[in-house]
């Protein structure tokens, strides 16, 4: 059974710092991996989607990498800003025979201090 783990569970950094969020998954047979952001009381917003054949994706100050063989992904945030404060979730599309579904990690709560 696929399990997705995110470390750390919470992180507080000063504004301007570069930071890395970690995601690990137990079964490397995935279709793709997505990073989402969730603001308090809101739904999820997709940040980056990495196909299983790709190694990384970049969007602005965000860079996500994927290493299927080791079951790991990282989300790198450059020059963090207070507006980056949110919960970050990674999720993998798990190959389950006739169906497939997103399996979510428990998230990393990020606070960027001004």
Nearest residue (CB) to other proteins, 24 versus 32? 32
65: closest CA among 89, 33, 101? 33
Residue 100 pairs in a beta bridge with: 95
Instruction: State yes or no: residue 93 binds other proteins (CB under 8 A).
Output: yes
- Mark out the alpha helices in 1-114 (DSSP H runs): none
Closest approach of other proteins to the CB of residue 16, in Å: 29
Q: Which of 45, 57, 53, 32 shows the shortest CA–CA distance to 83? A: 45
Q: By CB under 8 A, is residue 89 in contact with other proteins?
A: yes
Residue that the structure tokens 């969020």 belong to: 21
53 forms part of the interface with other proteins (CB under 8 A): no
Q: Which residues bind other proteins (CB under 8 A)?
A: 31-32, 34, 36, 42-46, 49, 51, 89, 91, 93, 99-102, 104-107
């Amino acid at each position: 059974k696929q399990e997705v783990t995110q470390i750390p569970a919470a992180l507080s950094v000063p504004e301007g710092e570069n930071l890395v969020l970690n995601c690990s998954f137990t079964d490397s047979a995935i279709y793709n991996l997505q990073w989402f952001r969730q603001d308090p009381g809101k739904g999820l917003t997709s940040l980056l989607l990495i196909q299983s054949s790709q190694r990384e994706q970049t969007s602005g100050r965000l860079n996500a990498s994927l290493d299927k063989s080791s079951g790991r992904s990282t989300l790198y945030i450059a020059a963090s800003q207070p507006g980056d404060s949110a919960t970050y979730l990674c999720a993998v599309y798990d190959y389950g025979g006739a169906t497939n579904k997103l399996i979510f990690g428990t998230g990393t709560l990020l606070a960027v201090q001004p």
